[in-house]
Chains A and B, each alone.
Chain A
Amino acid sequence: MTNKFFFRSALISTILSYLLIFVGGLVRVSGSGLGCPDWPKCFGRWIPPTSIEQIPAHIDPAIFNIVLAWIEYGNRMLGVIVGISIVVMTIIAIIYFRKNSKILYSSILSLFLVGANGGLGAIVVSSLLNPFVVSLHMILALFLVSVLSYTTIESYKLTNSNQFTGIHLSSSVSISLIALWILIIVEILLGTGIRTNIELIAIDNPLLSKGELLNALESYKYLHSVLGFSLLFLSAYLSYLFKDDFFGLSKQLVYFIFGMILFQIFLGELMIFFELPQLTRLFHTWGSSWLVGIIIILYNTLHYEQPK
């Protein structure tokens, strides 16, 4: 009973965190990060102003844009909801899973990460969206969903002891999966570097088009594409390893990873040819966060499954 209850709470935290990454990405691509000039309140209010008369005297009303304010505040509100759901999850973990160190420590770690990232959100605003700080905010969110994915799959295993069969974590599977995860993190860091530098160049060169900004980047931008294609082959190799031995969740996850990497390459090429459309950027970022979590889930389903 508590097992199931905890699993649900971990699953909800994870899903909400993924939604939060989507909304956070939306804030970045729509340029709404300074929609609220103060933090944690928005124009001195807990509920953002809906008309210009509600702006307090010490804040310049000229900078008020109701749409941007509500987009930014949506991110903060969802952040609070994620925080509450992780607090609930951690309380359950402390009360009922004190002896299960995997669940206990991963819950506490996720609570720490969500708190730290909320605090970093304040610095994002006070730094006037310094591109490094914004990227760090995103990377911390990736660690959060990684830890939450781990907590979720570990708690799933408590209630579904007989649902996976026939899967063995051989050394080739294990090494390929770990390598894939690390390389995807490297790939994300490269992508984040590209975005950070584009934004830094754009501050000093507001007239450059997106295409010109891309051209202004150093050659490491090609590394992002090259590594992307190599990841496709690595995930194809993994799909091959899982080819006929295994059915069920693990195999589906491997295929999902392969499909997602393919989709990411497609989005990446779209961005190069169509000068970084905002919606494509959003899905490219969000998709990468999915990969990070799914690989962790896959790895831990395998850990559990023993050969027959």
Chain B
Amino acid sequence: MSSLNKKLVLAFLFIFMFGSFGFYVIDRATKSRINNIGIIGQVPAFSLTNFDGSIVTEKQLNDKISIISFIFTQCDGACPIMSDNMSVLQERFSSSNDIQFFSITTDPEFDTLSVLTDFSSKYSKKNNWFFLRGNIADVVSLSEQGFFLSAALLPVGHSTRFVLVDKDSNIRKYYEGTVESNIYELQSDIVTLLNQE
């Protein structure tokens, strides 16, 4: 073999070796992302009232990716950050009609429909964000049994997590709604889910 040919063969082997390794790692990373949002459970039946007075049930979750959180309007700790983050997500995904947001109040006594309407106009810029209220016992059981999120000492003791629910009402993953890195993670998981379907 001439020395040029030898070099070309070496170059080929070199690129092939590193290329295969790179491809393998990238492939594993991509698949791990999908595996990481495995199905955790199914959202149970519920019936709550949206701020505009309409009734929202579990059927609303069909065929859309949903981000769900528990908040109350008088809360001044985590909730404003959570709502700000949700607002950012709503803005970033505003071009898609396959995504919707839910904020369920843990203080239905104070958070009447008119309070929720004011609250929604402060954060929501599109009609794909539902601000829901209902019987406090229903909210507690939805949080604890439906989403496996603690709901002790309400209203303050609500969970600060966001729940990612897929188009078949499956709970896929939880995110700390006040932590920026979790919001990035949620964002990329939404894109993964959208691309999968």
> Which A residues lie at the B interface, using CB under 8 A?
22, 26, 29-32, 34, 37, 60, 62-63, 65-68, 71, 128, 203-207, 278-279, 282-283, 286
Contacts and interface: CB of A to CB of B under 8 A. Distances in A.
A62 B191 CA distance: 17
Contacts of A65: 32-33, 36
Contacts of A32: 29
Contact of B190 (A62, A206, A278): A206
A66 B181 contact: no
Interface string B14-32: 0100110011011011111
B29 A206 contact: no
Given A65-B33, A65-B36, A60 B176 contact: yes
Interface range on chain B (Cβ under 8 Å from partner): 20 to 34
A207 B19 contact: no
26 contacts: A22-B18, A29-B26, A30-B29, A31-B29, A32-B29, A34-B181, A34-B185, A60-B182, A62-B174, A62-B175, A63-B181, A67-B28, A67-B31, A67-B32, A68-B33, A128-B181, A203-B187, A206-B191, A207-B93, A207-B191, A207-B194, A278-B26, A279-B26, A282-B22, A282-B26, A283-B22
B23 A279 contact: yes
B92 A204 contact: yes
A293 to B, nearest CB: 16
A63 B182 contact: yes
A295 B53 CA distance: 71
A30 B27 CA distance: 8
Interface string B164-197: 0000000001111001111011011011001000
B173 A62 contact: yes
Contacts, number: 74
A135 B181 CA distance: 19
B47 to A, nearest CB: 28
Contacts of A207: 92-93, 95-96, 191, 194
Contacts of B15: 283
B185 A63 contact: yes
Interface string B76-101: 00000000000000001101100000
Contacts of B174: 60, 62
Contact of A206 (B36, B93, B180): B93
Contacts of B25: 26, 30, 71
A22 B36 CA distance: 26
Nearest to B15: A283
Interface in B53-107: 92-93, 95-96
A34 B33 CA distance: 13
Top 9 A-B residue pairs of the complex, sorted by shortest distance between their CB atoms: A67-B32, A30-B29, A30-B26, A65-B36, A278-B26, A62-B174, A67-B28, A206-B187, A128-B181
Contacts of B181: 34, 37, 63, 128
Nearest to B40: A62
B130 to A, nearest CB: 21
Contacts of B28: 67
A3 B47 CA distance: 80
